Chains A and B, each alone.
Chain A
């Protein structure tokens, strides 16, 4: 993956570990992509797992490089030394811990993954502050999902794509300047 490696080497790629589903057959991402929060209590956190039958616990994340997921949080919101959890607001990125740990048993790599990720809570806060408001907003918004089948009809047709964005009203289509075709793999 040379492209992602280049971003990684350039400190432009943040990797959040252990952000998966609490159960191995359930997609944590469905509330994000559907735009439908299933209940009031599910709206409290990303992925819909903030509340449930299992007590939620903080999701861990490990920094594999000097991560800069986007812009750094404003200086006023940074934790100023010491225990970041003590000074920073609690991260909202949560998932039940029990099932995750249970699935890690018997697989020598996953406990190591969990253990390693537990050492970088401070970075989780940085990622959470940067991405958290956006991810939480996806629960309340209606994301525009571009399907693979759309690509055939819409490839190169920014007007049609804009029509979708405008709810199909072609009269509202505006002129679009697509990115350079040289940038895109064919």
Chain B
């Protein structure tokens, strides 16, 4: 679960660990077929995990020192393929939710 990974990171940040950069991952977005259901579940995980992390860290002094970047390895094509999925594409987007 992404939320659990982020919980560990939040623990480390709040404990004052010296590590400056943490990374966590959520796989399964390579949806070449039947994208709708899979993507919905994954985005729900992303939403709950990141939101909880932002809330937890943002409520502390470390929130002003923490930057979150959500990015993906690959973009997806905008148009669906014949399998109700999408193939790799160039453009994608990165998100940066503010902890404060």
Q: Which of A37-45, A50-58, A78-86, A154-162 forms contacts with chain B?
A: A154-162
Distance to closest chain B CB from A33 (angstroms): 5
Give how many A-B residue pairs fall within 8 Å (CB-CB).
Answer: 219
Give the CA-CA distance A142 to B1 in the complex, in Å.
23
Give the CA-CA distance A113 to B92 in the complex, in Å.
9
Q: Do B78 and A146 touch across chains, with their CB atoms under 8 A apart?
A: no
Q: Do B21 and A113 touch across chains, with their CB atoms under 8 A apart?
A: no
B84 part of interface (Cβ distance < 8 Å): no
B interface residues, tally (CB under 8 Å): 63
Q: Do B98 and A12 touch across chains, with their CB atoms under 8 A apart?
A: yes
Q: Do B52 and A144 touch across chains, with their CB atoms under 8 A apart?
A: no
Contact of A107 among B22, B51, B77, B96 (CB under 8 A): B77
Question: What are the residues of chain B within 8 A of A148 when measuring CB–CB?
Answer: 1-2, 5, 25, 27
Distance to closest chain A CB from B29 (angstroms): 12
Give the CA-CA distance A108 to B77 in the complex, in Å.
10
Q: Do B14 and A179 touch across chains, with their CB atoms under 8 A apart?
A: yes
7 A-B pairs within 8 Å (CB atoms) are namely A16-B94, A16-B96, A70-B100, A104-B91, A137-B20, A141-B21, A165-B19
Measured CB to CB, the residues of A under 8 A from B are 1-4, 6-7, 12-25, 27-30, 32-33, 35, 68-71, 99-100, 103-104, 107-110, 113-114, 127, 130-131, 134-135, 137-138, 141-148, 150-151, 154-155, 158, 161-162, 165-166, 174-180, 183-185
Q: Do A145 and B23 touch across chains, with their CB atoms under 8 A apart?
A: yes
Question: What are the residues of chain A within 8 A of B94 when measuring CB–CB?
Answer: 15-16, 19
**Residue on B nearest A177 in the bound complex, by CB:** B14
| Contact mask for chain B residues 1-21; partner A; CB cutoff 8 A; 1 contact, 0 none | 111110111111011111111
| Contact mask for chain B residues 77-100; partner A; CB cutoff 8 A; 1 contact, 0 none | 111000000011111111111111
Q: Are A20 and B74 also in contact (CB < 8 A) when A109-B79, A113-B91 are?
A: yes
Task: Give residues of chain B (34-61) contacting chain A, Cβ–Cβ below 8 Å.
Answer: 43-44, 46-52, 54-57, 59
Distance to closest chain B CB from A25 (angstroms): 6
